[in-house]
Amino acid sequence: MNVKDRIRSKLPEWRERTARLVHDHGSFKVADVTVEQIFGGIRGVPIQVSDISYVDPMEGIRFRGYSIPEVLKLLPRPETGQYPLVGGLYYLLMTGEVPTQEEAEDIEVEWKVRSNLPDHVFQVLKAMPRYTHPMTLFSQAILALQTESIFARRYYYGIHNKADYWEAFLQDSLNLTAKLPVLAANIYNLKYRDGIYVNPEPNRDWASNFAHMIGKEEPDYADLCRLFFVLHSDHEGANVSAHASHLVGSALADVYLSCSAGMNGLAGPLHGLANQECLRWLLKIREHFGRVPRRDELQVYLESALGKNEIIPGYGHAVLRVTDPRFTAQAEFAQRFMPEDEIFRLAMLVFDILPSLLIQQGKVKNPYPNVDAINGTLQYHYGVKEFDFYTVLFGLSRILGLTTHITWSRILGKPIERPKSLTTKILEEMIDRE
């Protein structure tokens, strides 16, 4: 069944469940909010219900209820590769069902048909100064594509039945995601390959076409792209990029406007930029020793860093309390395809030593690695050495999740978001009255 029909078949059940919750349990109290939480980034306050993915502190991310190992095992693969077709992952995110081979390939075909970029997007990219950050270009290009929004056009000409909005959002989502590999590859080529243009090839899947267009032809790199794009596609609905795009979308802004907003959040150093810091840190250690250090040497180095209260990039997490399964999946990939790589060996040596040192130090809530502790290592091995670009890779994948959240928000008729802000005086008076 194609993705639109599958969603349509599921829609009545989901709408009824949501309506029943609001109707029968509308006054049920989910949480209290403390002053500390208000001043602390609304940390841990449930503000969103989304069934696309959920981060369990002890297990890591589950996409539509499936863990990372399950997703990697169950999703259909291309004939030429060993990791899943990203089209299959998108089908799973959008519908909640593991696709058949045919259903996964259908999405890949939909993407090929819709992958053409209008000329004005190239013009926008070319008009920017050479030193523009690739994430700025990425967000700008998505915004430039807003001219193509089917929802914006239909809304202007008068679809006003809310129950029908989702169909235009799904079309916009398929169109935008279809264009992302061409878009990202063009930014890479513009920045780092003298602006050459490489056509996508009709016989390649979404991920391997990206690899091809940036000039990385090793079959293993195409598999790394498939793995990376699956792993980074979503991380619940309340992180900065997901929440930013949801918020913008709640004003009925279309998929392009919403995803560009999400990418602006992802471009922040506390969100998507962390992966380049981790690789930089590993390279610094190798430079310090002039080679991969021995275990005892690294132990002393790490003890000294922690003694100076340095933050070790790639370790810790706001929600997770175990090793990030996305770290594990990429470590397994590296063990299989690049076990002798020096930076990978160093990353694994850090993994061997650091968690127990962090536990001894007793401050950090999660002493284990997050996905960023390894992301850059693998890209670096395959020659993607332009650190600035790593967040675009992350964004290319994350838009799969963002567009799914936005489409389902319209399916469920979620209203405009409008929480409340207080003044310090009002808060002080509330406390005094207690």
Which one, of 82, 79, 76, 83, lies nearest residue 104 by Cα?
A: 76
From the candidates 51, 133, 271, 341, give the one annotated as an active-site residue.
Answer: 271
Binding site for ligand AMX (CB under 6 A): 274, 311-318, 363-366, 370, 372
Closest of 83, 139, 162, 10 to residue 402, by C-alpha: 139
CB closer to ligand AMX, 144 vs 306: 306
Catalytic residue among 205, 223, 254, 372: 372
Q: Is 317 a catalytic residue?
A: yes
CB nearer to ligand AMX: pick between 226 and 317? 317
Nearer to ligand AMX, 99 or 376 (CB): 376
Q: What is the number of other CB atoms lying within 10 angstroms of the CB of residue 255? A: 32
Task: State which residue, 93 or 278, has the beta carbon closest to ligand AMX.
Answer: 278
Let me know if 372 is a catalytic residue.
Answer: yes
Assess whether 23 carries a catalytic annotation.
no
Nearer Cβ to ligand AMX (222/400): 400
Q: Which residue has 């005892």 as its token pair?
A: 296
Q: Which residue is nearest to ligand AMX (CB)?
A: 316
Q: Minimum CB separation from ligand AMX for residue 297, in Å?
A: 19
Least distance to ligand AMX from the beta carbon of 315, Å? 4
Q: How far is the CB of 275 from ligand AMX (least distance, A)?
A: 7
* Residue that is written with structure tokens 């675009």 in the block: 392
Active-site entry in 232, 235, 243, 317: 317
State which residue, 126 or 363, has the beta carbon closest to ligand AMX: 363
Taking the complex as a whole, how short is the minimal distance between the CB of residue 310 and ligand AMX, in angstroms? 7
Catalytic residues: 271, 317, 372
